[in-house]
Amino acid sequence: MIPPQEASARRREIEDKLKQEEETLSFIRDSLEKSDQLTKNMVSILSSFESRLMKLENSIIPVHKQTETLQRLQENVEKTLSCLDHVISYYHVASDTEKIIREGPTGRLEEYLGSMAKIQKAVEYFQDNSPDSPELNKVKLLFERGKESLESEFRSLMTRHSKVVSPVLLVDLISGEDDLEVQEEAPLEHLPESVLQDVIRISRWLVEYGRNQDFMNVYYQIRSSQLDRSIKGLKEHFRKSSSSSGVPYSPAVPNKRKDTPTKKPVKRPGTIRKAQNLLKQYSQHGLDGKKGGSNLIPLEGHEHDFRVKHLSEALNDKHGPLAGRDDMLDVETDAYIHCVSAFVKLAQSEYQLLTDVIPEHHQKKTFDSLIQDALDGLMLEGENIVAAARKAIIRHDFSAVLTVFPILRHLKQTKPEFDQVLQGTAAGTKNKLPGLITAMETVGAKALEDFADNIKNDPDKEYNMPKDGTVHELTSNAILFLQQLLDFQETAGAMLASQVLGDTYNIPLDPRETSSSATSYSSEFSKRLLSTYICKVLGNLQLNLLSKSKVYEDPALSAIFLHNNYNYILKALEKSELIQLVAVTQKTAERSYREHVEQQIQTYQRSWLKVTDYIAEKNLPVFQPGVKLRDKERQMIKERFKGFNDGLEELCKIQKAWAIPDTEQRDKIRQAQKNIVKETYGAFLHRYGSVPFTKNPEKYIKYRVEQVGDMIDRLFDTSA
């Protein structure tokens, strides 16, 4: 049971809570009443606002619609006015641009093209909207006049600023083909950059708006003329330079300082000039290698003096027929070779320029037309060279035919660049160079064959034979010609191979030695073919020399003649690469010539038998020492002395005028003959020198042994 005090306390607590709850309830009632009142007031305000909004909307919407309509009307008016202004502007285009069109585009191309754009738009407008309008005809006429002015300006710019490439620059370009730095420093500039940009803009406008391709014809005609003139100028430069100094030089690259030029010699083939140098060596040096290592033998004696004198005069006389013709051939050859290289370089440069100016689908055709004149000129000159070579072959002037060799070699070396440059041109253009190469190979092969036949069939003219038995002109010419071929082994071999001459020389043709082209052979086959050809020439020469040697009545002089010629050929082969080339197909050639030389020496030595036979022991009388000689024996001894003396004097007199150009061979032959004669004469003199066969011994014993040796030492020496 709860105590009374706790119950009383609990009751008071409950009463207090009840009182608080009543107060809270009273507060909530008051708040609700206030909230209801506020809600009523808000509803009243909103209702009033809604009413006012409805009134405002009813009054604003009509105004908005009217304003929107007015704005549309204003925009339409503005657009109409703008269109009117635009249309009206077309009617003023003619008057606004007429002055500019009349004055032309020179010096103000940008402004001029802007005016042409306005005229173009006016033409399009009147064509679409008022085709019968007189304004259309007016702007059309103005447009055509403007287009003509642009075409005229294009021609004018190309004509005024297209300049011939200087020969000096071309020579530098050709000479510096392997020098990339030089090429970068001195590119060809056909047109100034500013002019080029104007030309490009005009050409693009004419293509896009002018609907005219005539300017392409103007372009290729002008550039074709400059290309042709550049090449002709280079050729003339070579002629003038060679006539004044003998060798053309190119000054320094243009962008270097002019006060410190560095001359650069042009690479020259030197075909004819090299032959002249060889001929000079022939007249000045020997084969012993002691004087400049010449490949040729000097002549001696009267015939030597005569031939050297006239050869020297012919070579040194600038106005002489030999020097004049050969110098001219050499210059023409050099000029043509460099013109071919210049054409390739210029054509490459022209194509680069053309790609900037001419539309892509017209570039190949325009380029084809552009290069025709220059290319035809080169081909015509090449054909003239071929024709001249044919005439030279007919008159047996084979030195003139040698000009074909360096040209043909250069054309073949340049052909890949040619083919690349002419890529895309017409078939007729591409085939011009191969046609010329074929013609040159044909005439070259003809020259080689005719030369071999000419060596074989050269007539035995007595007046043309050297009286001193020295090297025949035919031999020196043949060796000179063959030595020239050393510089053109591949070219000469290809000439022979191109004519399929393997059957002529009985050389079996291995299918592996040919490529897909019927006239393209391996270098090994060409080398064997050339080797066989050289052996054929040498064989023909040997047969002809044997025939010519029979012209001499004296067998000893005939032997000296053959000895000199065989020795000349042998030494010439040994001192050059000819021996290696001959050895390709004839391994024993060198040994064979040595045997021929020794054989002729032995033949010559037999000429002394008629001298030594007088004093040979087998023909001497036999007598007892201390026994007085009989008259018959004394007379026999006298006859032996007299026969020896007369024979010795006669031979020495005759053979002193003969020539053995090779010092080594001359000394060898003298020494061998001296040993034989001195030994025989010494024995004879020892046996009979003290025998009393005569009262006048000095009449018969005219020479001491040493004197006989001295006399033989003076053989083959006209100065003795």
Q: Please say if the pLDDT value at position 717 is more than 90.
A: no
Residue 308, pLDDT score: 37
Residue 547, pLDDT score: 92
Question: Cα(first)–Cα(last) distance of the chain, in Å?
Answer: 187
Q: pLDDT confidence of 523, banded at 50, 70, 90? A: confident
Closest CA to 548 of 464, 450, 468, 660: 464
Residue 312, pLDDT score: 34
Cα torsion 570, 576, 581, 583 to 10°: value is 40
Q: Please say if the pLDDT value at position 315 is more than 70.
A: no
Q: Please say if the pLDDT value at position 169 is more than 80.
A: yes
Per residue in 178-226, pLDDT tens? 444 444 445 578 888 999 999 999 999 998 887 777 889 999 999 999 9
DSSP-based helix, strand, coil % in the chain, nearest 5: 75, 0, 25
Q: pLDDT confidence of 548, banded at 50, 70, 90? A: very high
Least trusted range by pLDDT, from 176-180, 185-189, 280-284, 648-652: 280-284
Query: Residue 360 class from Cβ within 10 Å (0-12 exposed, 13-18 middle, 19+ buried)?
Result: exposed
CB atoms inside a 10 Å sphere around CB 682: 17
Residue 180, pLDDT score: 43
Check residue 259 and report its DSSP letter: T
CA distance 323 to 567: 29
CB atoms inside a 10 Å sphere around CB 610: 13
Per residue in 250-280, pLDDT tens? 333 333 333 333 334 444 444 444 444 444 4
Q: pLDDT confidence of 535, banded at 50, 70, 90? A: very high
Q: pLDDT confidence of 673, banded at 50, 70, 90? A: very high
CA distance 670 to 162: 74
Give the sign of the dihedral formed by CA 18, CA 21, CA 25, CA 31. Answer: positive
- Phi, psi angles (nearest 5°) of residue 227: -65, -45
- Phi, psi angles (nearest 5°) of residue 265: -70, 140
Beta-sheet strands, E only, within 344-496: none
Amino acid identity for residue 4 in this structure: P
CB atoms inside a 10 Å sphere around CB 182: 16
Residue 9, pLDDT score: 87
Contact 509, 525 (CB under 8 A): yes
Mean pLDDT of 554-583: 93
Residue 719, pLDDT score: 65
Q: Give the list of residues 6+ apart from residue 538 with CB closer than 8 angstroms, or none.
A: 478, 482, 569, 582, 589
Q: pLDDT confidence of 664, banded at 50, 70, 90? A: very high
Amino acid identity for residue 246 in this structure: G
Give me the numbers of helices (H) and strands (E) for the chain, helices first please: 26, 2
517 φ/ψ sector (left φ>0, alpha ψ -120 to 50, else beta)? beta
Contact 145, 118 (CB under 8 A): no
Mean pLDDT of 610-622: 78
CA distance 309 to 543: 29
Q: Please say if the pLDDT value at position 666 is more than 80.
A: yes
Please identify which residue in the block is written with the tokens 């014809």.
217
292 φ/ψ sector (left φ>0, alpha ψ -120 to 50, else beta)? left
Would you call 702 helix, strand, or coil by DSSP? coil
Query: Residue 509 class from Cβ within 10 Å (0-12 exposed, 13-18 middle, 19+ buried)?
Result: middle
Mean pLDDT of 535-562: 94
CA distance 206 to 154: 10
pLDDT, averaged across the chain = 80
Q: Please say if the pLDDT value at position 318 is more than 50.
A: no
